[in-house]
Structure 1
Amino acid sequence: MTDKKDAVPIGPISDEDLLTLDARSLRGLAHPLRMRLLAALRDRGPATASQLADRLGESSGATSYHLRQLASFGLVEDDPGRGTARERWWKAVHRGQRFDSIGEFVRHPDPEVRAAMSTFLVEHATSSAEQVATWMSTMHTWPKVWQEAWDSSRFTLRLTPQDAVELSERVHALVEAFRERETDGPEGERVRVQFHEFPIASD
């Protein structure tokens, strides 16, 4: 189970909480370790390079270097309430990121931007799969009520592109509506909701 004292507050997300990725910020973020570092800061709150190195199984030199790179792109910053002359604490600038159009980057004329988009998507998919696998291998450590509350489903539909957009928008709206129910009570836990929607080739 989560250690609630370490978890950052979660709740309704405003537009100011989200970074809209452009070509420059995408290139800055599209690195497996940088994406993991940023996710760790968003999930667990401010930390030092050494703490993140221990958490992610990396060297402090690597985490320190990539944190500075993230800072140069405006993705992380110093936490002035924690830092000291000997210990630098980092925090995420935004609670999440979004794209105005993923297709814009998939079709981008600059091959470096297309490569960054590919790296970002593959790492995002890898991270999602790892989180599901971690839950499935550790669910026996959770109370029975949570062992029976989770879900992993797969559906195949026949949709037009317009239908797919509508489905995605409705799912996102439903998830956002549940943010109003978030609780710090004894039964509340952080719940990861993953949603994937994509066409598959016909056999």
Structure 2
Amino acid sequence: MKDDEPYVLDDPDRLKALAHPMRRRMLTHLNVHGPATSTTLGELLGAKTGTTSYHLRQLEKYGFIEEIPERSTGRERWWRRAQIPRDMRLPTPDQVPAEDRAVLEEFHRIGYEEDRVLFERFPAAYQADPAWARGSRGLARMTRQDLDAFYEEYIALLLRYSRPADEAPPEAARCTSASSPCPRTRADLRRPSQRVTAQVSLLSVNRLGGDASPVWLTR
């Protein structure tokens, strides 16, 4: 499989491995800041080393991270993000066995909470430097086929402009982008604050000071 080919994370065990806030934060740290040990991650997350070691082993078990043998000595083990597809997607509920759908719902819940934190951070980021905080929202009339095409082009655009760390120029910043198009109903017209019919929200925030979901994971 090529690095940019879509990969659906429909294995319930792998999905469950990521449906945990601490593991998500650990994986994001490794993705953004590079290799770390369980001790380093414990200090950053305010957790005991035994706890971080357990969660690291779970991430390793399901192929999301790997040990760096040449840097590991004695009881100190260094970890890095494994080579996994950049375009990793979540399954739809009908692609998951009924008994495992609660895991998918929890995964979404964690992701939406991360999105909420990112969204709330946007005004301050915009005030600090408008050139690095771009927000856009709009209303479009789309068919299901149009929305499918829009989604695929959006992901392709992310992959096009997302450089690997070793290929990014010095002036590059870590940015997070989120898009949540969904149908608008008549009721939404009376509740303008609610997410809304092919309204497309695109949010890009300078990620230099915080954590968010890896850009390769879409839902």
TM class by shorter-chain length?
A: 0.7 to 0.9
**Taking structure 1 as reference, are residues 62 and 136 closer, same or farther at Cα in structure 2, changes over 3 Å only?**
farther
Aligned length: 181
Helix, strand or coil: the match of 1:148? helix
Once residues 97 and 175 of structure 1 are traced to their aligned partners in structure 2, the CA distance between those partners, rounded to angstroms, is 9
Structure 2: gaps (5+ residues): 188-219
* Greater strand content: 2
Give 1:184's aligned residue: 169
Partner Cα distance (2:148, 2:49) in 1: 42
Instruction: Spell out the pairing of 1:105-184 with structure 2 (5 A cutoff).
Output: 105-106=93-94, 108-111=96-99, 113-134=100-121, 136-137=123-124, 146-179=129-162, 183-184=168-169
CA distance in structure 2 between the partners assigned to 1:45 and 1:197 by the alignment? 32
1:122 counterpart letter in structure 2: R
TM-score by length of 2: 0.70
Distance 1:117 1:160, change over 3 A: same
Aligned 8 A contact 2:71 2:78 in 1: yes
Structure in which a larger fraction of residues adopt helix = 1
Superposition RMSD in Å: 2.7
Q: Distance in 2 between the 1:121 and 1:25 partners?
A: 15
Secondary structure of residue in 2 paired with 1:41: helix
Instruction: Name the counterpart of 1:194.
Output: 178
- Partner SS state of residue 169, structure 1: helix
SS at match of 2:79: strand
- Partner AA of 2:111 in structure 1: H
Mapped partners of 1:164, 1:47: distance in 2? 40
Q: Which amino acid aligns with 2:172?
A: G
| Alignment partners' CA distance in 1, 2:75 and 2:103 | 34
In the alignment, the residues of structure 1 paired with residue 87 and residue 103 of structure 2 have an alpha-carbon distance, to the nearest angstrom, of: 15
In structure 2, distance between residues paired with 1:77 and 1:177: 26
Could you report, residue by residue, the CA deviation over 1:154-196 in whole angstroms, capped at 9, with x for unpaired residues? 223232221111111122222333347x7423x3222222222
Query: Taking structure 1 as reference, are residues 98 and 176 closer, same or farther at Cα in structure 2, changes over 3 Å only?
Result: closer
TM-score normalised by structure 1 residue count: 0.74
Shift of 1:106: 5.0
1:23-52: CA deviation from partner (whole Å, max 9, x where unpaired): 221122211211221121111111011211
What SS does the corresponding residue of 2:26 show, helix, strand or coil?
Answer: helix
Whether 2:75 is the aligned partner of 1:86: answer yes
